[in-house]
A and B are shown apart, each in its own frame.
Chain A
Amino acid sequence: MSLRTPLSRVLGMGSAKQGVHHWWVQRLTSVALVPLTVWFVVSLLTLPSLDHATVAAWERHGSTALLLVLLVLVGTWHSQLGVRVVVEDYVPSPGARTVTLALIAFAHALLAAAGTFAVLKVALGVAP
């Protein structure tokens, strides 16, 4: 016996293929974050100092700003997907869950925008 609805059999298109989207993006971002985070940690540890001049010069140098923007964007995306699952699992009340998920989405969007803006400000030389 087929479990497909008559409508789906008529349309003949199968599933919309959206079911694995969250899973797939979580994997894509995690693969990207392996080199990005390792690069960031090694860079931080090998900078001669963390004072303003050194860090600003590092951000302006070569592809640092590009990699930092990628780190912030891919990192917040991955984080949002992960925290979302934790909330879905542990917040039982639908109302509180929806509000928490919305707040988490906003917070991550803010982090992504603020982090990107901060890096670009330094890299483009408009920071004080």
Chain B
Amino acid sequence: MPARPLSPHLSVYRMYRYTLLTSFLNRATGVVLSLALVLLVYWLAAVAGGAQAQARAARLLGLPVMKLVYAACIIAFCYHLVAGIRHLVWDTGHGLERAQSRNSAWLVLAASVLLMLLIGAFAFVLAGRAP
């Protein structure tokens, strides 16, 4: 490995800047969703395995600790969806000015938290869902 500093040299950045924070969160939530994909395929395979296989899988998927996993998936999905749309808007060349970008960062935060609460309420309170 070369001795020169290589990107990303995280220590030189102010971690609380909204630009860095929103970008980092998009990556982190993306990685969480990649792990959620494993869960999705596990669930689909359990359904394909028949009623007994699904009942066996449901014992694991129904563990109390899995509620935390589902909450993490919901948080990651909502943030990554809204922040991803912000990136797509940027890709058209719009919203790149500093003031617009600061506003859209707040908009992403507000919209994704709203979405989290909405989906969370549906999943955990109204439907009381656990497979």
Residues in A lying within 8 Å of B, measured CB to CB = 27, 30-31, 33-34, 37-38, 41, 44-45, 50-53, 55-56, 59, 68, 72, 75-76, 79, 82-83, 86, 89-90, 92-93, 111, 114-115, 117-119, 121-122, 127-128
Q: What are 9 A-B pairs with beta-carbon distances under 8 A?
A: A27-B88, A30-B84, A31-B88, A45-B127, A53-B51, A79-B30, A111-B38, A114-B45, A128-B51
Contact check, B51 vs A75: say whether CB atoms are below 8 A apart: no
Residue with the highest number of chain B CB atoms closer than 10 Å, among A52, A55, A122? A52
Q: Judging by beta carbons under 8 Å apart, are A79 and B33 in contact?
A: yes
Q: Is the interface of B mostly helix, strand, loop or mixed?
A: helix
Q: B25 at interface (Cβ–Cβ under 8 A)?
A: no
Say yes or no: B81 contacts A37, CB within 8 Å: yes
Q: Are B7 and A118 in contact (CB under 8 A)?
A: no
CB neighbours (8 Å) of A34 from chain B are 81, 84-85
- A82-B30, A92-B1, A92-B6 in contact; A56/B47 too (CB < 8 A)? yes
Known: A72-B40, A89-B8. A127 touches B49 (CB 8 A): yes
Q: Closest CB-CB distance, B2 to chain A, in whole Å?
A: 9
Are the CB atoms of A52 and B51 closer together than 8 Å?
A: yes
Tell me whether A119 and B48 are in contact (CB under 8 A).
Answer: yes
Q: A30-B84, A37-B77, A52-B55 are in contact. Are A127 and B40 (CB under 8 A)?
A: no
- Tell which of B31, B45, B51, B77 touches A118, judged by Cβ atoms closer than 8 Å: B45
A53 to B55, CA, bound (A): 11
> B34 contacts A115, CB within 8 Å?
no
Question: Can you name the residue of chain A whose Cβ is closest to the Cβ of B123?
Answer: A45
Closest 7 CB pairs of A and B: A128-B50, A118-B48, A118-B44, A52-B51, A121-B48, A115-B41, A79-B34
Give min CB distance, A41 to chain B, whole Å: 7
Closest residue of A by beta carbon distance from B30 = A82
Q: Across the interface, which residues of A come within 8 angstroms of B131, CB to CB?
A: 50
B37 touches A45 (CB 8 A): no
Contact A90 B34 (CB under 8 A): no
Return chain B residues, CB-CB under 8 Å to A52: 47, 50-51, 54-55
Kindly state the separation between the CA atoms of A76 and B35 in the bound complex, as whole angstroms. Answer: 10
